Amino acid sequence: MPDTALSGLKVLEFGNLVSAPYCTKLMADLGAEVVKIEAPGVGDEARRREPFAQDKPGIERSGLYAYLNANKLSVTLDPSTAVGKKLFCELAGKVDFLVENNPPALMEGLGLTYEALEKINPMLIMTSITPFGQTGPFRNYKAYEITAYSASGYGYGSTACIREPVMPPVKAGGRPSQFSAAQVGSVASMFALFARDQIGAGQHVDVSIQEVMAGHYESAIEHWTFAANEIGGLTNPILQPMLPLECKDGWVFLMCIEDFQFDRYVEVMGNPEWATNELFKDRFSRAAYLDALWPLLTEWTMQHTKEEVFQKAQANRVPVAPAYNAEEIVNSPQLAAQHYFVEIDHPVIGKARYPGAPYTLSETPWRIERKAPLLGEHNEDIYCGWLGYTREELVKFTEIGAI
């Protein structure tokens, strides 16, 4: 196998849950050596997040943790202790990247700011992913996913096709803002790596989750700037139909906002007589009388499976997409053809399928080299191998709570 794209690079991760761990996962999967710092005894918060293998909670049983941390090494470390801080600084001196998602005040309190660490390692690239960035009046605010999601304005934009009585703001499931910020963080870190070759020094990469989301997904900013102060995302779009339709076995999403698209869909439905009604003559009137149109469209889709509706629409060049559930995604023939899923064997979880990479590199492919680490599994490898400490010293570090 050829070398991976990021082989030879070393990364230190000091974070929890999604944004920092997913950022470094993207690096680890391409060959970077990622050392994950976890709190002694408890580890990353993701270890306590469901789903759990066999539905039994445990710090080595979280599916979220297992997915986010494959290909990494785990060490336990408490940098709030004098010895722990010393070890942290020694590790920072050995790596190309430090990726963290802690509140700025916490890093300042620990004395682990970029200004302090660059004195130890001038070539260090430190990537900080926080809800609101390193400056400004919100810099020290903590935030759950719903906070960051709503603070970006996307809680309004994401409701465009939801039927009453649901009104904005709402939040999509999962942690989309954290995954998005992680992707931005990994790309920005690579930019800083290229820049390091030019300027001969590292730099601090400041990623604000609010700013990531504010500029993504047809943002509220765009609507405000270009649509006469429209806030966007209202539940009554001025063009219709653009909506979910229930079928025998689930849902499809129909987007026929152009008149010719709707005419083609009418053909798919067998040219029902109601389609000639003046109420539905164009996309604006269809929006105005959506309450009358919606049940008529659903009456036809309920006679078919979502795959039947999808295939009929495809044959007539109508934009319709099935709404797949988790089981259908896992068993998708398209994803199977792309070899998307990977199987990883874990000593506690067992064998399980995980999402792979959403890209391929023809010459330097990504790959899974190891399962997610057990808590502190690589203490000896890193503290003795990287830093030169003895096993006896590790025992003492453990006794004083440093690792």
Domains and CATH numbers, the chain: 10-216+336-399 (3.40.50.10540), 242-324 (3.30.1540.10)
The predicted structure's pLDDT at residue 122:
98
pLDDT by residue (tens digit) across 98-114? 999 999 999 999 999 99
Average pLDDT over residues 221-235: 57
Q: Of all residues in the chain, what percent carry a pLDDT higher than 70?
A: 91
- Whether residue 323 contacts residue 306, with contact meaning beta carbons closer than 8 Å, is answered with yes
- For residues 279 and 346, give the distance between their C-alpha atoms in angstroms, rounded to a whole number: 59
The predicted structure's pLDDT at residue 228:
55
Q: E strand or H helix at 12, and its extent?
A: strand 10-14
HEC letters along 274-315: HHHCHHHCCHHHHHHCHHHHHHHHHHHHCCCCHHHHHHHHHH
pTM comes to: 0.90
Residue predicted with more confidence, 354 or 2:
354
If pLDDT is split at 50, 70 and 90, which confidence band does 42 have?
very high
pLDDT by residue (tens digit) across 137-167? 999 998 888 888 888 877 766 665 545 555 6
